[in-house]
Amino acid sequence: MPLGLFGQLQGEPGEAHADTIDLKLRASLPMVGLLRALALRHGVAATGTLERLHALVALGRIGADLGAALEEDFHALTALRLRQQVADLEAGREPGNYLPFAGLSARDRRRLVNLFRTLDLLRRAAAQEFGGRTG
């Protein structure tokens, strides 16, 4: 999880991206993958991430509060990624998944911190579901 000891955002390893976070690698893929695994485990046939999430909440496999937070996070994450990709294109760069910390508003920083905390709750729930350790 890209949060430090005191809940601050941490950049990617290495100098090239030390002041950025890879939103696809650190957030999108884990969320999509965990929801896919839980959906498969519980026979959910839906293929979309939000549809899987809604089905898991309806089955009681994910609590309503966590489900609402995950849905909000999914939308926020998508918006952040798209905003950065548009900025990349406007700057003449190939659109990517790295979000620079510089220029992030305090609101966006808090949003990301909360997103990673919620994602950790999902990870822990999935670990318990599959009989793994949560720590």
- Confidence at residue 44, expressed as pLDDT on a 0 to 100 scale: 96
- What lies within 8 Å, CB to CB, of 11 at 6+ separation is 2, 17, 18, 19, 20, 21, 101
pLDDT digits over 84-108, tens only? 999 999 999 999 999 998 888 999 9
pLDDT tens-digit readout, 39-58: 999 999 999 999 999 999 99
The pLDDT assigned to 66 comes to 95
pLDDT, residue 133, reads: 63
pLDDT confidence tier of residue 7, bands split at 50, 70 and 90:
low
- pLDDT value, residue 4: 61
Confidence at 130, pLDDT banded by 50, 70, 90? confident
Answer whether residue 74 shows pLDDT above 60: yes
Every domain of the chain and the residues it spans: 20-129
Long-range contacts of 125-131 (CB under 8 A, 24+ apart): 125/38, 125/62, 125/66, 126/34, 126/37, 126/38, 129/38, 129/41, 129/61, 130/37, 130/41
The predicted model gives 111-115 an average pLDDT of 91
d(CA 78, CA 100): 16
**pLDDT bucket at 16, cuts 50 / 70 / 90:** low
Residue 2 has pLDDT above 80, yes or no: no
